[in-house]
Structure 1
Amino acid sequence: MSATEAIQIPHLGGSNIGYRFGRPYDPSLPTLVMVNSFTTSVELYRPQFADEQLSTTANLLAIEPYGHGQTRAAYAQFTYWDTAVAALQVLDALGIPDAFVLGTSQGGWIAARMAMLAPGTVKGIIPLGTSMDFESQRSRELGCWNGVEFCTPAIDALAQPVGDDWVIPTELVDATLAEGMGDDVPDDERAFWHRTHQQNYAGDAGRERLRISSINLRDRDGLHGRLDAVRCPVLWMHGTADRVYSVANAEEEIGLFTGSAKAELRVVEGGQHFLSATHPEVVNAATVEFIDRWK
């Protein structure tokens, strides 16, 4: 697996986008873009990079959203639409003509945005443990979390400038890990994410990126009225133990992809919210099958 690099694109006044290839790019293979979940980085996809069958099926290319990992922009404000545009510009800058897109949680709705913006580029999307709604009363009635309650205390706490020695509090990291991976996060995995988050969210610039990322999660726009613009096939995988978004919500929303070549929901028994991390064998095998079918 290669190291994380940054590539320059023009969006948002000029941006450096963090990305990582699993192996050197092979133009004879299809490409799978992987977009990580809230506050994580390309390291979320270590289980995918380590999978031999997936790695020989497609070029694995993890791209970090605005506010995450090594991605930086000249403009301080950004939305999920900006990340969708940026990811497409990364493909163009790397000379990759088309790709499948897998996204975990927020990565799922970024994948959908990419498919809407560039139907000729995105060959299929694989949303994992996600939602296509805003933080609505409808979604809460279907068993999804209250993202406003989860995000607002952190947004308020991060409102004031901090010194150079500031790092993200571990309790914020632990709250995200609990929602994403459940209560039984191994000690070494927890320690890994404590270190990684504190490297990525340090100083006042790190505080600001974390705050805007949290605002994006809480205040995002819903996609229900736009989903008929997704033309490519969709494989949505959702875990029964997902604390954030419910299977019932996924069951409703998969039916909104009315323009898709084929839209399928696959329920994963015991799967957590960060499904690519907690159930990689299931996700990887289904992804190989999906790419082989639609490449």
Structure 2
Amino acid sequence: MAEITISKTVRVPLLGGTDAGYHMPYPYDPSKPTLILVNAFVTSVELYARQYKNKQLTDAMNLLAIELLGHGNTRTVSPSWTYWHTAEMNLQVMEALGIKKAFVLGTSQGGWITARMALLAPEKIEGIIPLGTSMDYESERTVKLGCWDCIRDVTPTIDAFTTTENTPDFEAPTAFCDFLVDIGLGKDVDPAVREHWRKIIKSNYRGNDGRLRARMAAINLRDRDGLHARLFDITCPVLWLHGTNDVVYSIANAQEEIKLFKNSKSAELVIVKDGTHFLSADKPEAVDNALISFVGKWANKHI
């Protein structure tokens, strides 16, 4: 496998002080539109490695990947946080790096970060691109529509990672890593890709601090608030991409939820044949081409 992408950090004031992990494959060019990339659960900026290597994409726009609270190299002084805090952190990273407006793409949990950023700072967000996501809390409604049962699947991890004892020898279990790979890229993924992600997850979630960050990230995932009533307030264009082989969130759910962006300038759902949950890694050509078209159409148009 290729060398792992390692993020740098920038200091922002969130929660009394946060070092936000980020990666820009090329220096910021203010003459081009900017696309922020938000990673999935317990992944990192490495999730978008294939996008960084697409010259057609990087010629068309600046790419800025930001790691959520609890992920990658992002560290905060607070022991507790929510997805709303991550959305605010991303906006503070934009300010720190001198970026006045941007599009936002997010995979899975990154998808609801895109919506939260558009809600918190509509004047800064030109459009959002959710990938393989849901805008609901982990509800009975979504399970009935064929989405995973997050409460069933994630609660054992939270319980296993919850203790009052110091755990200096903690390392993310292999089964935990493989579960993420299986749902993200499929059980039949290349063994080298599986080992690549095992290495990334294990290296990031080790020691007592790693256990605490993994635990809080899992709590955020399971116990988050839904956004259905708020989606009317998002006015920027929305391009939702969803793979037919996504085993976490269903197309049926996406078809219902795209209709909730009633006040957006444009809201479109695009189904990607054979695409898995980590769509940008699995089907980069389809995703990148859609990005170039969407950003090219809406840059400097919404705001």
TM-score by length of 2: 0.96
For the residue of structure 2 that corresponds to 1:138, the secondary structure is helix
Q: Deviations over 1:203-237 (max 9, x none)?
A: 00100000000011111100000001111000000
Amino acid at match of 2:48: Y
For the residue of structure 2 that corresponds to 1:125, the secondary structure is strand
Contact 2:239/2:267 (8 A) holds in 1: yes
- Matching residue of 1:94: 97
Q: What's the CA shift for 1:198?
A: 1.3
Amino acid at match of 2:204: N
**Aligned runs of 1:1-295 on 2, under 5 Å?**
3-160=6-163, 161-295=165-299
Give structure 2 stretches of 5+ with no counterpart. Answer: none
For the residue of structure 2 that corresponds to 1:101, the secondary structure is strand
Q: Deviations over 1:65-91 (max 9, x none)?
A: 000000000101011000000000000
Amino acid at match of 2:168: D
Contact 1:2/1:21 (8 A) holds in 2: no
In 1: Cα distance, 2:147 partner to 2:195 partner:
28
Contact 2:6/2:45 (8 A) holds in 1: no
In 1: Cα distance, 2:198 partner to 2:180 partner:
11
For the residue of structure 2 that corresponds to 1:271, the secondary structure is coil
Q: Deviations over 1:45-70 (max 9, x none)?
A: 00110111111111000000000000
Contact 1:134/1:219 (8 A) holds in 2: yes
In 2: Cα distance, 1:2 partner to 1:128 partner:
21
Contact 1:19/1:63 (8 A) holds in 2: yes
Give the root-mean-square deviation of aligned CA atoms. 1.1
Contact 2:5/2:46 (8 A) holds in 1: no
Q: What's the CA shift for 1:2?
A: 7.9
Q: Deviations over 1:173-212 (max 9, x none)?
A: 1001111111121111111111111111010010000000
In 1: Cα distance, 2:227 partner to 2:5 partner:
34
Amino acid at match of 1:177: V
Q: What's the CA shift for 1:162?
A: 4.4
Q: Deviations over 1:246-294 (max 9, x none)?
A: 0000000000001101000000111111111111110011001000000
For the residue of structure 2 that corresponds to 1:235, the secondary structure is strand
For the residue of structure 2 that corresponds to 1:236, the secondary structure is strand
Q: What's the CA shift for 1:165?
A: 2.4
Contact 1:17/1:70 (8 A) holds in 2: yes
Q: Deviations over 1:147-183 (max 9, x none)?
A: 0011000000000234322210111010011111111
For the residue of structure 1 that corresponds to 2:171, the secondary structure is coil
Q: Deviations over 1:109-129 (max 9, x none)?
A: 000000011100000000000
- Percent identity, aligned pairs only, is 53
In 2: Cα distance, 1:165 partner to 1:114 partner:
36
Q: Deviations over 1:24-65 (max 9, x none)?
A: 111111110000000000000001101111111110000000
For the residue of structure 2 that corresponds to 1:102, the secondary structure is strand
Contact 2:7/2:72 (8 A) holds in 1: no
For the residue of structure 2 that corresponds to 1:33, the secondary structure is strand
Contact 1:162/1:207 (8 A) holds in 2: no
TM-score by length of 1: 0.98
